[in-house]
Structure 1
Amino acid sequence: MMFKKSTSQAFPVYIVVSMLLMLGSCSPQNTLRGVFKSQSGHEKYAAALKDAKLDQTGLGQQWVAASAKALQAPVPVTLPFKETGYFPADKPSAAGYRFTVKRGQKVAVRVETKGQNVPQVFLDLFETDAANPGNPKRVASADTTSLQLEYEIDEELPHILRLQPELLRSGQYTVTIETGPVLAFPVQGKDSRAVQSFWGQDRDAGARRHEGIDIFAPRRTPVVASVEGVVSRVNTTPIGGKVVWLTDVKRQQSLYYAHLDSQTVEPGQRVAVGDTLGLMGNTGNAITTAPHLHFGIYQFGQGAVDPFPYVHQDRTPPAALQIDTKNLNAWTRVTKEKTTVREAPATSSASLATLGRHAPVQVLGGSGSWYRVQLADGRQGYISGSLLEGVEKPLQSLKLKREAPLLETSNPEAAAKQTLTPDSTVRVLAKLDDFWLVKDQKGETGWIPASATR
């Protein structure tokens, strides 16, 4: 087998494999481009492919194309999210997921891999810009066989996570994407379930809006530092009563603690996360209400922002995997007429396509009770696991009426694996209108024009 370049030249596969093994064993410092520390592992690997001229091979071009496609057409998902998939060695691929996280939250990504020869996986997180959606900005990356990544969200913009393995290695992966608060909860022993009054609610008969959240707890419960910082102000005001201001230099913001029964810090004091700043009370204009903490966040030069995402921990676990992992990277077929392919693994998600019974789809991964599939035209979407079956049992066996090429894909321009002669017997595995997925007498799987059976 030869890997074609874009020109008439070609590299024998043993040379490609040898060069890739050399790339995998070289440290970034041993390459010219490795001196640029801002490069991600993915960028260094792509640069090394180019230096070795492997980007001119068919395999290298497929790797580059898969990388771009994962960013151009990521699947939309809702967090928390968990998916198991498979990277085949013989077909360069990448997975892309698009999601939005609230400002004040951090996204946490974990990737686990399995297999006899586990590939190095490149994990990159991108931020998109509505003004220039075709040019996402990389904001975080990781690349090891045990991947973890955390990133604090600065703006509530769509983000794209891309997973891509090195060439010529296969393996199963499970990616988990969750969110968490960037700050610790400001009341000892409590969490966001203790919040009873939220951002933006009316105050003073609608004369003003609530610029914070109210957290209720017994009187004199310790109120604690949500972040390492410096106490900038300790005083008493008519509205806030006994208050403490804590400066969060890292995020360029101030945290406001109001209605305290007493304060236990001094201006200029440096505190660590969890240090007591004061005790819960109802001073100031909260004198007629139960003891609670008014907690606010004021960003330098911008004013108040909703503090709830900054301290809210979502305890909803990702959906447990319910699909059959033996179907990963395998062809399957639809079992019912008018089966909907959806953009995301949820019945509420938009419809991407409608398939007829026995239509073939290739399984790329699974999330909860949904399969992520690739259609014959290359599009990706999700189908409920109950609507697919394996193709081990053929739909029928028949003899061809005329000579037919056994194609690699359901495209008349696709390369032919071989030519089947008239009267050749094939087992039909799945059907499209113009092409059928079949297996010949030698066990070779491919596509034939449906006209060859008539």
Structure 2
Amino acid sequence: MPFTTDSRIQRLTTRPLSGFGWMLLAAGLLGLGGCSKQQTLQAIFQKSTPHQAYARQLKQAGLDTRPAGRAWLQAADQALRDSLVVTLPFAETGYLRPERPTATSYRYNVRAGEQIHVSLALGAGAAVRVFLDAFEVVPGQAAAPVASADTLAVDFRYRAEDDGQHLLRVQPELLAAGRYTLRVSREPSLSVFPVLGRTDAAVGSFWGAARDAGARQHEGIDIFAQRGTPAIAATDGFVTRTGETPIGGRVVWLADTKHGSHLYYAHLDKQLVSAGQQVRAGDTLGLVGNTGNARTTVPHLHFGIYRSGRGAVDPFPFVRRTDPAAALPNGPDQRGEFVRLRAATDLRPTPTADKKRPAPAIAKLPKQLPLLVVGQQGTSLRVQTPTGQEGYVPAQGVVRASGAPLRQLVLPTAVELLGQPFTAAPARGALAAQTPVSVLGQTEGYSLLRGPGGETGWVIL
């Protein structure tokens, strides 16, 4: 989408003032005098995400009616409908294009009780704002926001409340340029594992396993440990109940008031707390045993979680170990470069190839089409087509366009270099007649040229 740099855009790309300071500056410099007092006060006090606040600034500055601002807002909405598909944990290096407003979104599966860790680090010299917004995605419903952040070094966590899919949108401010590294991984949302000195490797019986010859299902996990091993509080809370039952034996109930749930410790050899007692994460609640209907088994802790209004839920995602760090690409850094395919290839929404159930292709890409590398993940490149579509192709399936041009020639006449392959696209520069150029790729009658000084743009030859 064509656009030109606007002085109002340049003002917005510096970090804005907060609160009344920004509003007074905006009123004076960006012409907000046309807004009513009620609208201005609503804008000040309305609770919003950093992304929403920035979008509101664009509109207050009148940039939503100009090509750049309109393209930025459209890219934000489009990212909620068209997302790439990734598997956690993942790490991707990316490239921010100043000449074209874009937003990239990643969709991934989550389990109730997992904590999602999002980290974005900008490359050296990239002092820009990048907005990160996580949404819950339910088919047939609008994406529901669950967490947001923006800073020069984003690192935040949020807890998944339900099984399902989440979408992370990554969008820089207007005119942002630079490189970044994005990581998304899973962690336990409970701060302490419920058996001292053990990890999820000690879980030997999982949620849903058959009990009593199939008459009921296991509503928890069994963590095996020696008799007398401390069973400890997995979070801060208070003891609501202790006692002894035929099935659970000696039990302790711990209320997690922060999240509206109750943690259930069963088959204890001894209880070391009493009802009403406040505890901190890591405090000992009792000792592992095999009381109740576990008397014929080896000692273990039955650990369950019951959420208000929902009943029992699988506790494993709440305590599973943190994902190992996803490896960054170890090949050459091709971000910001144009590449071409060695052979016609499908553009896919996921970087991993599942031979049994391959993801539907976004598009079929011809080998002469130049692709801009905007990200790298594992052995795949995230590329952008001349029309703005994004997806993944195998890194080994491309060649650098500048290193293997389709052909080289000398321009017979002067030409304008367009930013995109269509007539209304803005010019990015010009090359004089008799200039030697390389043809990096072709599409729809347009050729992507590279001049001797690195000038790049589209022309009709």
TM-score, length-normalised on structure 2?
Answer: 0.87
Change (3 A) 1:309 1:137: same
Task: Report what 1:7 is aligned to.
Answer: none
Amino acid across the alignment from 1:185: F
Amino acid across the alignment from 1:97: Y
Q: Distance in 2 between matches of 1:177 and 1:72?
A: 20
Aligned ranges for residues 161-240 of structure 1 at < 5 Å? 161-183=168-190, 184-240=192-248
Q: Distance in 2 between matches of 1:343 and 1:389?
A: 21
Q: In the alignment, is residue 427 of structure 1 matched against residue 438 of structure 2?
A: yes
Unmatched 5+ stretches in structure 2 = 24-39
Task: Report what 1:355 is aligned to.
Answer: 365
Amino acid across the alignment from 2:456: T
Q: Distance in 2 between matches of 1:406 and 1:18?
A: 24
Task: Report what 2:343 is aligned to.
Answer: 337
Query: Does the Cα contact within 8 Å between 1:28 and 1:44 map onto a contact in 2?
Result: no
Task: Report what 1:389 is aligned to.
Answer: 399
TM-score, length-normalised on structure 1?
Answer: 0.88
Amino acid across the alignment from 2:166: H
Q: Distance in 2 between matches of 1:146 and 1:105?
A: 23
Q: Distance in 1 between matches of 2:441 and 2:267?
A: 69
Aligned ranges for residues 232-311 of structure 1 at < 5 Å? 232-311=240-319
Unmatched 5+ stretches in structure 1 = 5-11
Shift of 1:178: 0.9
Task: Report what 1:324 is aligned to.
Answer: 332
Change (3 A) 1:196 1:46: same
Shift of 1:299: 1.8
Shift of 1:398: 3.6
Change (3 A) 1:118 1:441: closer
Q: Distance in 2 between matches of 1:48 and 1:361?
A: 33
Shift of 1:411: 3.3
Task: Report what 1:380 is aligned to.
Answer: 390
Query: Does the Cα contact within 8 Å between 1:100 and 1:158 map onto a contact in 2?
Result: yes
Q: Distance in 1 between matches of 2:454 and 2:180?
A: 28
Change (3 A) 1:198 1:67: same
Query: Does the Cα contact within 8 Å between 1:323 and 1:370 map onto a contact in 2?
Result: no
Shift of 1:87: 1.2
Aligned ranges for residues 69-108 of structure 1 at < 5 Å? 69-108=78-117
Change (3 A) 1:219 1:126: same
**How far does the alpha carbon of each residue in 1:402-449 deviate from its partner, in whole angstroms, 9 at most, with x for none?**
998754323355456689899986421123464332235775422344
**How far does the alpha carbon of each residue in 1:110-168 deviate from its partner, in whole angstroms, 9 at most, with x for none?**
11112324102222112223231xx3222211121121221111122322212222223
Match of 2:447 among 412, 422, 436: 436
Aligned length: 436
Task: Report what 1:16 is aligned to.
Answer: 8
Change (3 A) 1:316 1:239: same
Which one is further off, 250-259 or 277-286? 250-259
Amino acid across the alignment from 1:50: K
Amino acid across the alignment from 1:172: R
Query: Does the Cα contact within 8 Å between 1:372 and 1:381 map onto a contact in 2?
Result: yes
Query: Does the Cα contact within 8 Å between 1:194 and 1:217 map onto a contact in 2?
Result: yes
Query: Does the Cα contact within 8 Å between 1:87 and 1:165 map onto a contact in 2?
Result: yes
Q: Distance in 2 between matches of 1:18 and 1:346?
A: 38
Task: Report what 1:115 is aligned to.
Answer: 124
Q: In the alignment, is residue 129 of structure 1 matched against residue 120 of structure 2?
A: no
Query: Does the Cα contact within 8 Å between 1:243 and 1:263 map onto a contact in 2?
Result: yes
Secondary structure in 1 matching 2:80:
helix
Query: Does the Cα contact within 8 Å between 1:203 and 1:209 map onto a contact in 2?
Result: yes
Q: Distance in 2 between matches of 1:443 and 1:114?
A: 22
Q: Distance in 1 between matches of 2:98 and 2:428?
A: 19
Task: Report what 1:9 is aligned to.
Answer: none
Change (3 A) 1:117 1:309: closer
Change (3 A) 1:158 1:407: same
Secondary structure in 1 matching 2:219:
coil
Q: Distance in 2 between matches of 1:145 and 1:416?
A: 31
Which one is further off, 432-441 or 34-43? 432-441
Q: In the alignment, is residue 26 of structure 1 matched against residue 17 of structure 2?
A: yes
Task: Report what 1:43 is aligned to.
Answer: 52
CA-based RMSD of the aligned residues comes to 2.6
Which one is further off, 176-185 or 403-412? 403-412
Q: Distance in 2 between matches of 1:408 and 1:315?
A: 41
